[in-house]
């Protein structure tokens, strides 16, 4: 997988990285969704990250 063309990446206003590895789109969506959920629950003082 080559990803997006360098010209298109240069025109982007912002970018997001999930690390140096290349992930399948559906797995990347799941990972991003989990991180957003985790952030929201932590900000709401939900015990998500506590045992």
Q: Is residue 39 part of a domain?
A: yes
**Rounded CA gap, 29 and 15, in Å?**
15
Question: Of all residues in the chain, what percent carry a pLDDT higher than 90?
Answer: 49
DSSP assigned state of 7: H
Is the pTM for the entire model greater than 0.85? no
What does the mean pLDDT of the chain come to?
Answer: 87
Determine the structural domain holding residue 29 and report its residue range.
Answer: 18-51
Q: Is residue 50 part of a domain?
A: yes
Number of domains in the chain: 1
Residue 2: count of CB within 10 angstroms of its CB: 5
Question: Of all residues in the chain, what percent carry a pLDDT higher than 70?
Answer: 88
Judge whether residue 29 has pLDDT over 60: yes
Quick one: pLDDT at residue 16?
85
Judge whether residue 1 has pLDDT over 60: no
């Amino acid at each position: 997988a080559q990803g997006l063309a360098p010209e298109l990446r240069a025109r982007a206003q912002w970018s997001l990285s999930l690390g140096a590895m290349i992930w399948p789109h559906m797995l990347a969506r799941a990972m991003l969704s989990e991180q957003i959920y985790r952030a929201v629950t932590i900000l709401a003082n939900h015990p998500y990250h506590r045992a």
